[in-house]
C-alpha cells in the first residue's frame, strides 16, 4: 500500500503525523509526505517528502494569512471555544492559496490511502479525485471535522476542483478521550511524542538534584512573543529552589541569568521533559500533549486563539494551571505548580489514559485492513 500524508506546511502540523508514518513504514507500506515550508523537516525523520511550494517558509505563509485574513488573528473574547468554532471554516479556507500545488503532487503520488491534516483541505480533494479512502489525523485538542469542507468558505477547494466531500471519513485522535474537544472521534491513538531528533547535551545525563522546570514557547513567533513571560520566569526563579531550563535558543537568552537557570538550543522536547517535573509553556498542541504523555505538570500562558482553546480544555480537565494574564506568573504561581496535589493526580491519570490507548502500529493494522 502507498500511503500519502498531507499535513499543513508547518512543523506543528507535520510532526504529529510522523509516528503514524513510521508505523506504516514498519508494517512494510510505502509512505510519502507532500507538504512545504518548515514541515519539510519531516525528511529528517527518515520519511520521503515532496515540496509543494518551493521557496516558501512557514513564517512567510503565516504573514500572508495575517495580511489576507486578519480577522483570524484578532483577539478572542470570553468564550474561546465558541468563538473559535465560528472561525474554523475561515481557518480552513485561509490555506486555500496553497491547496492546488499540494493536490497536483498528491495526484502524482497515486496513493492507495490519504492521511491528512483536517485544518488543510487537500486530503479530501485528492481522495475524491482519485477515489481512494481518506483519514483525518488530528493535531491536538481542538476538533476540526471533515464536515467543515461541506459548505463555503471551508468548501472552496472542493468546489473549485468539482468534487464532493467523500462520506464517512474517519478521524484519528491523538488527544486522549477525556481531553479532546467534543469527545473522542472514530479512532483514538496513543500520542507518541516526536519533536525532531538531535544530539543530546551532556547535562541531560547528569543526576537531577532538585525539581527541573522546562520553559518553552513554541516554534512560531520566536522568544520575542513571550519576552515578558521569560522575564517573569527569571524573576521567580531567583526565589525558588528548582532548576529552570529555557528552551528558547541560546542566542535568544537574556544576559545575567540566575544561577539556577540554564538555556538550551534545539533539544527533542520529549527528552528534555523526561527529566522535568513541570513545564511553563504557551499551550501549543505538541508541547501540551508531550507533557501530558509524560505526566509533567503544566502551567500555560496562552496567547494565540488556538492556544486559548487549548487552555480552556486543559482548565476544564484540571490538567494545567492556565494563566489569564502575564502578571499572574510570579513566585507563588510557580510554587503552586510544584506543590498542587490535585494537579499531580490529574497529570498521572491522563498519562495512564494515554498509555492505554492503541499504539500507532495497532492503528495501522486497522487502517490497512481490507474494506
Full set of structural domains in the chain with CATH: 2-169 (3.40.50.2000), 202-355 (3.40.50.2000)
Phi, psi of 5 (to 5 degrees): -105, 130
Q: What is the mean pLDDT of the chain?
A: 93
pTM over 0.85: yes
Query: Mind listing the pLDDT tens digit for each residue in 293-319?
Result: 999 999 999 988 999 999 999 999 999
Least confident range from 15-29, 49-63, 249-263, 355-369: namely 249-263
Phi, psi of 228 (to 5 degrees): -65, -40
Query: Mind listing the pLDDT tens digit for each residue in 220-234?
Result: 555 555 677 888 899
Q: What dihedral angle (degrees, nearest 10) is formed by the CA atoms of 187, 117, 51, 359?
A: -20
Query: What's the grid cell of residue 47?
Result: 520519511
Report the alpha-carbon distance of residue 363 to residue 345 in Å, rounded. Answer: 29
Q: Assign 7 a pLDDT band (cuts: 50, 70, 90).
A: very high
The predicted structure's pLDDT at residue 340: 98
Give CA 339 to chain center in angstroms.
27
Report the alpha-carbon distance of residue 224 to residue 236 in Å, rounded. Answer: 19
Query: Mind listing the pLDDT tens digit for each residue in 233-249?
Result: 999 999 999 999 998 76
Q: How far is CA 174 from CA 24, 41, 309, 316, 357, in A?
A: 16, 20, 16, 18, 9
Place of cell 505538541: 286
What residues have CB less than 8 Å from 156, skipping those under 6 apart? 93, 96, 121
The predicted structure's pLDDT at residue 253: 65
Strand segments, DSSP code E, in 301-356 are: 320-322
Amino acid at each position: 500500500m502507498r500511503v500519502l500524508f498531507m499535513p499543513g506546511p508547518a512543523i506543528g502540523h507535520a510532526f504529529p503525523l510522523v509516528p503514524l508514518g513510521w508505523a506504516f513504514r514498519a508494517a512494510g507500506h510505502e509512505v510519502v509526505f507532500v507538504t512545504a515550508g518548515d514541515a519539510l523537516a519531516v525528511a529528517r525523520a527518515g520519511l520521503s517528502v515532496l515540496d509543494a511550494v518551493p521557496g516558501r517558509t512557514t513564517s512567510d505563509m503565516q504573514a500572508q494569512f495575517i495580511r489576507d485574513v486578519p480577522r483570524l488573528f484578532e483577539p478572542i473574547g470570553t468564550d474561546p471555544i465558541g468563538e473559535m468554532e465560528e472561525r474554523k471554516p475561515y481557518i480552513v479556507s485561509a490555506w486555500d492559496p496553497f491547496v492546488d500545488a499540494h493536490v497536483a503532487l498528491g495526484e502524482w503520488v497515486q496513493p492507495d490511502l490519504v492521511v491528512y491534516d483536517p485544518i488543510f483541505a487537500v486530503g479530501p480533494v485528492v481522495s475524491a479525485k482519485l477515489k481512494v479512502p481518506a483519514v483525518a489525523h488530528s493535531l491536538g485538542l481542538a476538533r476540526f471535522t471533515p464536515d467543515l469542507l461541506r459548505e463555503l468558505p471551508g468548501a472552496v477547494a472542493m468546489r473549485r476542483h468539482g468534487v464532493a466531500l467523500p462520506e464517512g471519513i474517519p478521524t484519528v485522535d491523538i488527544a486522549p478521550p477525556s481531553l479532546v474537544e467534543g469527545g473522542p472521534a472514530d479512532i483514538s491513538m496513543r500520542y507518541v511524542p516526536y519533536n525532531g531528533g538531535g544530539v543530546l547535551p551532556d547535562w541531560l545525563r547528569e543526576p537531577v538534584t532538585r525539581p527541573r522546570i522546562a520553559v518553552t514557547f513554541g516554534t512560531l513567533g520566536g522568544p520575542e512573543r513571550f519576552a515578558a513571560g521569560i522575564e517573569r520566569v527569571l524573576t521567580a526563579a531567583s526565589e525558588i529552589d528548582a532548576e529552570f531550563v529555557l528552551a528558547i535558543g541560546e542566542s535568544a537568552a537574556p544576559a545575567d541569568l540566575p544561577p539556577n537557570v540554564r538555556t538550551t538550543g534545539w533539544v527533542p522536547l520529549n527528552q528534555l521533559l523526561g527529566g522535568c517535573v513541570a513545564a511553563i509553556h504557551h499551550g501549543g498542541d505538541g508541547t501540551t500533549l508531550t507533557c501530558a504523555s509524560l505526566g509533567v505538570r503544566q502551567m500555560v500562558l496562552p496567547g494565540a486563539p488556538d492556544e486559548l482553546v487549548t487552555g480552556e480544555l486543559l482548565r476544564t480537565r484540571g490538567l494545567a494551571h492556565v494563566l489569564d494574564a502575564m502578571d499572574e506568573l510570579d513566585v507563588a504561581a510557580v510554587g503552586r505548580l510544584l506543590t498542587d496535589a490535585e494537579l499531580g493526580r490529574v497529570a498521572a491519570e491522563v498519562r495512564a489514559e494515554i498509555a492505554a490507548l492503541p499504539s500507532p502500529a495497532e492503528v495501522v493494522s486497522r487502517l490497512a485492513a481490507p474494506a
